[in-house]
Chains A and B, each alone.
Chain A
Amino acid sequence: MTMTKPEAETVTSTPIANSLTAGRLPTPAPWIILGTAIAVSAALFAVLGVASGAGFDWGGAIIVGGLLYVPSIWLFSRLVEGGRRAKDRLVTALVTGAFLLAMIPLISLAITVVTFGLARFDAEFFNSSMRNVTGEGGGALHAIVGTLLMTGAAAIISIPIGLLTSIYLVEYGRGRLAQGITFLVDVMTGIPSIVAGLFAYALFAIFFGPGIRLGIAGAVALSVLMIPVVVRSSEEMLRLVPNELREAAYALGVPKWLTIVKVVLPTSIAGITTGIMLSIARVIGETAPLLIAAGFTQSMNYNLFEGRMSSLPVFVYTQYANQGNPPEAYLDRAWAAALTLILIVMALNLLARLVARFFAPKFGR
Chain B
Amino acid sequence: MSKRIEVRDLNVYYSKFLAVEGVSLEIEPRSVTAFIGPSGCGKSTFLRTLNRMHEVIPGARVEGEVLIDGNNLYDPDVDPVLVRRQVGMVFQRPNPFPTMSIKENVLAGVKLNNAKISRSDADALVEQSLRGANLWNEVKDRLDRPGSGLSGGQQQRLCIARAIAVSPEVILMDEPCSALDPISTLAIEDLIEELKQQYTIVIVTHNMQQASRVSDKTAFFNIAGTGKPGKLIEYDATTTMFSNPSVKATEDYVSGRFG
- Which residues of A pack against B, CB within 8 Å? 174, 242-255, 258-259, 262-263, 266-267, 361-365
Chain A residues closer than 8 Å to B111, beta-carbon distance: 262
Contact of A364 among B56, B93, B146 (CB under 8 A): B146
Asked whether A262 and B58 contact (CB < 8 A) given A248-B95, A252-B162, the answer is no
Give the interface size class of chain B. Answer: 35 or more
Q: Are B99 and A266 in contact (CB under 8 A)?
A: yes
Contact of B112 among A243, A263, A363, A365 (CB under 8 A): A263
Contact of A245 among B83, B84, B85, B95 (CB under 8 A): B95
State the 8 A-B residue pairs at the shortest beta-carbon distance, nearest first: A253-B85, A361-B98, A251-B89, A252-B109, A365-B149, A244-B95, A253-B84, A266-B99
Chain A residues closer than 8 Å to B96, beta-carbon distance: 248
Q: Are B58 and A174 in contact (CB under 8 A)?
A: yes
Known: A247-B89, A248-B97, A263-B112. 16 other contacts (CB 8 A): A174-B58, A244-B93, A245-B98, A249-B97, A250-B56, A251-B88, A252-B85, A252-B108, A253-B86, A253-B109, A254-B112, A263-B97, A361-B99, A361-B148, A362-B148, A364-B145
CB distance from A243 to the nearest CB of B (A): 8
Q: Are A247 and B112 in contact (CB under 8 A)?
A: no
CB distance from B77 to the nearest CB of A (A): 16
Chain A residues closer than 8 Å to B146, beta-carbon distance: 361-364
CB contacts under 8 Å to A, within B131-148, are 142, 145-146, 148
Residue B159, interface by CB 8 Å? yes
Name which residue of chain B comes closest to A243, CB basis.
B56
Mark each residue of chain B from 99 to 120: 1 if its CB lies under 8 Å from any CB of chain A, else 0: 1000000001101111000000
Main secondary structure of the interface of B (DSSP, over half): mixed
Q: Are A254 and B97 in contact (CB under 8 A)?
A: no
Chain B residues closer than 8 Å to A254, beta-carbon distance: 81, 108-109, 112-113
- Which residues of B pack against A, CB within 8 Å? 51, 53, 56, 58, 81-86, 88-89, 91, 93, 95-99, 108-109, 111-114, 142, 145-146, 148-150, 159, 162-163, 166
Q: Are A364 and B84 in contact (CB under 8 A)?
A: no
Q: Are B91 and A248 in contact (CB under 8 A)?
A: yes
Chain A residues closer than 8 Å to B53, beta-carbon distance: 247, 250-251
Chain B residues closer than 8 Å to A242, beta-carbon distance: 95
Chain B residues closer than 8 Å to A174, beta-carbon distance: 58
Q: Which of A246, A253, A365 has the most CB of B within 10 A?
A: A253
Complexed CA–CA distance, A246 and B91 (Å): 12
Complexed CA–CA distance, A242 and B92 (Å): 14
Complexed CA–CA distance, A248 and B161 (Å): 13
18 of the cross-chain contacts (CB-CB < 8 Å) are A245-B97, A245-B98, A248-B91, A248-B95, A248-B108, A249-B97, A252-B109, A252-B112, A252-B113, A253-B81, A253-B84, A254-B113, A255-B113, A258-B114, A259-B112, A262-B111, A362-B148, A363-B149
CB distance from A126 to the nearest CB of B (A): 40
Name which residue of chain B comes closest to A359, CB basis.
B99
Q: Which of A249, A251, A255, A361 has the most CB of B within 10 A?
A: A251
